[in-house]
Amino acid sequence: MGKDVIIACDFASAEETIRFLDKFNKIQDEIVSCDHISLSISRPYVKIGMELFYAEGPQIIKTLKARGHKVFLDLKLHDIPNTVKKSMMVLGAYGVDMVNVHAAGGIEMMKAAKEGLMLGAARLADKPKLIAVTQLTSTDEETMHKELLIDKPLAEVVRQYALNAKAAGLDGVVCSAHEAADIHKYCGDDFLTVTPGIRLAGDSAGDQRRVMTPAAAKEVGSDYIVVGRSITGEAKPTGAYTKCCEDFID
């Protein structure tokens, strides 16, 4: 299965996003040393979150797809099944490569999401992947116990949410890299683990509570790493991205 590094484009506008991604057009010059990396390195896989999508609307997806990027639309839907199904029909027609829901919405909601997404993407040759957020990587066990009143251990909750996502027919989950090995053990190697909370060695964790380096994420079997500030916050983001690819991709 192809591993990839997904850059979290948590920018406020399309203009800022394009300015950032323009830097990657010339990246090939900087990476002569890692020609084993098979992905089109000048057109990284990008994640569009709520901030940018709400600011720019669907046009941002069209723009990025037209520029040759794969797009993970990270809107984390969580509502009643009927609403999620109808919303997913809309998102499926955009031609995104990956989209997600909160597993906390339950199996019925996730099944409805999948149904809606496939209906929306019916005309597309490449079907989008649907994954479920288990627990946010900013949530730790103490928060879960004290604020959310979920008294089971975090690992057990994440595992159950992943099993629910699999039962609903989803392709995988968003989880911490700390849980990737356990999820593959219980849900199978072909069940995708998409892992944010990634930091290059020495970078600040910020608001993330459970972080890991790209090299360690590779060791534990993550399928995709989602990297935001360790790339976007760097003076030389192309260098940080290249380092992530070198450390994570075979």
Query: Residue 115 or 225: which CB sits closer to ligand C5P?
Result: 225
Query: Residue 82 or 204: which CB sits closer to ligand C5P?
Result: 204
What dihedral do alpha carbons 9, 83, 114, 208 form, nearest 10°? 40
What's the half-sphere exposure (Cβ side, CA atoms, 13 Å) at 201?
4
Per-residue mark of binding to ligand C5P, 116-135 (x: CB under 6 A) = -----------------x--
CA angle, residues 58, 61, 66, in degrees to nearest 5:
130
Query: Scanning the structure block, which residue is given the tokens 């360790």?
Result: 230
CB 237, min distance to ligand C5P, A: 12
Per-residue mark of binding to ligand C5P, 198-227 (x: CB under 6 A) = x-------x-x-----------------xx
What is the phi/psi pair of residue 101, to 5°?
-135, 170
Burial string for 187-214 (b: 16+ CB within 10 Å, else e) reads: beeebbbbbbbbbbeebeeeebbbbbbb
Query: In terms of Cα–Cα distance, which of 243, 242, 192, 184 is closest to 72?
Result: 192
CB 29, min distance to ligand C5P, A: 26
Query: Residue 93 or 246: which CB sits closer to ligand C5P?
Result: 246
Per-residue mark of binding to ligand C5P, 75-114 (x: CB under 6 A) = ----------------------------------------
Please indicate whether residue 86 is annotated as part of the active site.
no
Helices and strands: H and E segment counts in the chain: 11, 8
Binding site for ligand C5P (CB under 6 A): 8, 10, 49, 74, 133, 136-137, 174, 196-198, 206, 208, 226-230
Catalytic sites, residue numbers: 76
